[in-house]
Amino acid sequence: MSNQSKQIIEADFLIIGSGLAGLYAALCAARHGNVVLITKSALSESNSFQAQGGIAAAISPEDSPALHLGDTLRAGRDLCNRQAVEILTQEALPAMKDLENLGVSFDRNGAGNLDLGQEGGHSRRRILHASGSATGQSMITVLSRRVLENRRIRLLEYTTATELLVNEGRCFGALAYQRNEHGSQTLLAPTTILATGGAAALYQQTSNPPTATGEGIALAYRAGAAIKDMEFMQFHPTALYQKGKRSFLISESLRGEGAYLLNPAGHRFMPEYHELAELAPRDVVAAAIHSEMKKAGADCVFLSLTHLNADFMKRRFSNIYKTCLEQGIDITRQLIPVAPAAHYTIGGVRTDLDGRTNLDGLWACGEVACTGVHGANRLASNSLLECVVFAKRAVETALRSRAPVGRLPIREGNGWSPLEDPSKEWEPTARLLTEQVGLVRNRAGLSEALKNLEKLGKNNGTASEWHDRLLVASLMAKAALLREESRGVHRREDFPAQEQSWQKHIVFQKGREPGFLWN
């Protein structure tokens, strides 16, 4: 073990995760103190970096926060926290101005006005984008540069938080594993902010990078934090499908510009499922595609934009055009094979309206958190907005709640170990989740999944990357088995209706039976 791996590092803020929520929280926090920002991969590898569609904000004269609020509540299937959605939609405009002040350049049209896109579930064009369909990459590049320039922010890459340090109900930092040094570090701070993203990479078919495995949820659960809504895993309707290859997201914005979905027989089917057709909310479109695939015994359906202006599509969606072309598909002349893929973890660490968890000193923001803004189905392009709005609120609230770290029993490590070859070791479990805890579930499949997950965990220690993944997978399966209805992205073949009696949330906490919170 090297000298660096034995370090005790102290700061005013410890931020775990380097997606949009983590970067923005670090920049906000650095205005008030010293920050340690850790990320388990390189700074550029995150879900936010891969985000294509954009970020939603009611900016045009024809739009309003009230309309954005209504669209979000409808998409959430009566399970959103209305106060959280009000905050999200009302604070969107100042959040966009702050991003522009940091250097983010949103695309504008020939007249110099913001070029707003349309996506499923939105009643207005309100999606800001940057560099065409490379919005996430553009935003993360700008914010990463700001972080690297900031002398108050110490960045630790390839560093995984392995345990939250908690003493008498208060979090004072974390133990971490430094992959390059193969050893542990102790990170102490009066404020710890989780911004580790979601868990969709636990599935076989996913739009997420391999790092999105839910370790923040596992960290928080093991420390005693409440975990909420884990049954709601959103599947993006249109990921590029090529058998045996990793999924690539085909942005919803293409459908916003007029692209059609066709079944294997070449029939446009979405008008038969919803009045908004291809612009229905994601849960509806994903379920419709699943149904058409099942009817045809096919692995995919097709997205067609051959009827649209080729030059515009190449320019507006340049990264999608180039990626598909590398796979032998010219999207301006050929159909794009698409299928649903695990995309966004709606559930996570339960927080209040300011990102505060039930553990003093611990906050959460972004996809790892469950603020209640998404309900049972996230409205497109609200995710990046949530990152910015609630990261800022978390930092501002933490400033008023800080307590000195004081003396703590310090350990060098907890014996945590990483997976040597994550893709190979996890692949059978990823397939299990996709088949039995996927887009459509039933009691038999969920029960079998839980039995297999329990069996897999018996021969492994409790401090490992493997155990954390199994823990998160088990929480998802347990919640899905408990919720005996179909609502939003949670679909049960054996309970196909949405039930008024289930307008409530499932909450897990270590050492306790599952609890329920009513809206």
Among the three residues 320, 342, 364, which one is the final residue of a domain in this structure?
Answer: 342
Among 222, 255, 282, 487, the active-site one is: 282
Residues with Cβ within 8 Å of residue 95, at least 6 apart in sequence: 57, 385, 388, 389, 392
Among the three residues 318, 342, 366, which one is the final residue of a domain in this structure?
Answer: 342
Rounded mean pLDDT for each run of 10 residues along the chain, 519 residues in total: 62 96 98 96 77 88 97 97 98 96 93 91 94 86 96 96 93 91 87 97 93 96 98 96 88 93 98 95 95 96 96 91 94 97 97 98 98 97 96 96 68 74 89 96 98 82 83 98 98 97 98 93
Asked if 49 and 19 count as a contact pair (C-beta separation under 8 A), the reply is: yes
Question: How far, in Å, CA of 84 to CA of 89, rounded?
Answer: 9
In a domain, 106, yes or no: no
In a domain, 508, yes or no: yes
From 351, 408, 479, select the one nearest 83 (Cα to Cα).
351
Residues with Cβ within 8 Å of residue 453, at least 6 apart in sequence: 429, 432, 470, 473, 474, 477
Asked if 397 and 355 count as a contact pair (C-beta separation under 8 A), the reply is: yes
Query: Domain check: are 424 and 514 in the same one?
Result: yes
In a domain, 469, yes or no: yes
Distances (CA, A) of 471 to 18, 58, 299, 395, 443: 23, 38, 30, 28, 20
The amino acid occupying position 215 is E
In a domain, 273, yes or no: yes
* Amino acid 487: pLDDT: 98
Please report where in the chains the tokens 């559930």 appear, as a residue: 347
Residue 348, by phi and psi: left (phi above 0), alpha (psi -120 to 50) or beta? Answer: left
Asked if 334 and 262 count as a contact pair (C-beta separation under 8 A), the reply is: no
Query: Domain check: are 418 and 514 in the same one?
Result: yes
Tell me whether residue 268 is one of the annotated catalytic residues: no
Question: How far, in Å, CA of 485 to CA of 277, rounded?
Answer: 24
Burial of 350 (0-12, 13-18, 19+ CB in 10 A): buried
Question: How far, in Å, CA of 384 to CA of 142, rounded?
Answer: 15
* Amino acid 411: pLDDT: 61
In a domain, 41, yes or no: no
* Amino acid 419: pLDDT: 85
Beginning with the edge strand found earlier in the chain, give each strand of the sheet holding 13-16 in spatial order.
153-156, 35-38, 13-16, 191-194, 362-364
What range does the domain containing 465 cover? 414-518
Question: How far, in Å, CA of 1 to CA of 386, rounded?
Answer: 39
In a domain, 19, yes or no: no
Question: How far, in Å, CA of 175 to CA of 503, rounded?
Answer: 38
* Amino acid 410: pLDDT: 63
- How many CB atoms within 10 Å of residue 485? 17
Query: What letter does residue 333 receive in the DSSP assignment?
Result: T
Residues with Cβ within 8 Å of residue 259, at least 6 apart in sequence: 278, 303, 304, 305, 308
In a domain, 213, yes or no: no
Burial of 286 (0-12, 13-18, 19+ CB in 10 A): buried
Among the three residues 324, 342, 360, which one is the final residue of a domain in this structure?
Answer: 342
Helix, strand, coil percent content, the chain, rounded in steps of 5: 35, 20, 45
Beginning with the edge strand found earlier in the chain, give each strand of the sheet holding 233-240 in spatial order.
248-249, 233-240, 336-345, 301-304, 260-262
Query: Domain check: are 337 and 418 in the same one?
Result: no
From 126, 97, 82, 120, select the one nearest 388 (Cα to Cα).
97
Q: Tell me the HSE value of 498 on the side-chain side, using a 13 A CA sphere.
A: 11
**Domains in the chain: how many in total?**
2
In a domain, 293, yes or no: yes
- How many CB atoms within 10 Å of residue 378? 28
Cα Dmax for the chain: 68
| Residue 370: its H or E element | strand 369-370
**CATH number reported for the structural domain that contains residue 511 in this entry:** 1.20.58.100
- Strand residue runs (E) in 127-202: 127-128, 153-156, 159-167, 170-178, 183-188, 191-194
What is the pTM (predicted TM-score) of this model?
A: 0.94
* Amino acid 5: pLDDT: 46
**CATH number reported for the structural domain that contains residue 315 in this entry:** 3.90.700.10
Please name every residue paired with 504 in a beta bridge, in sequence order, or none if there are none.
518
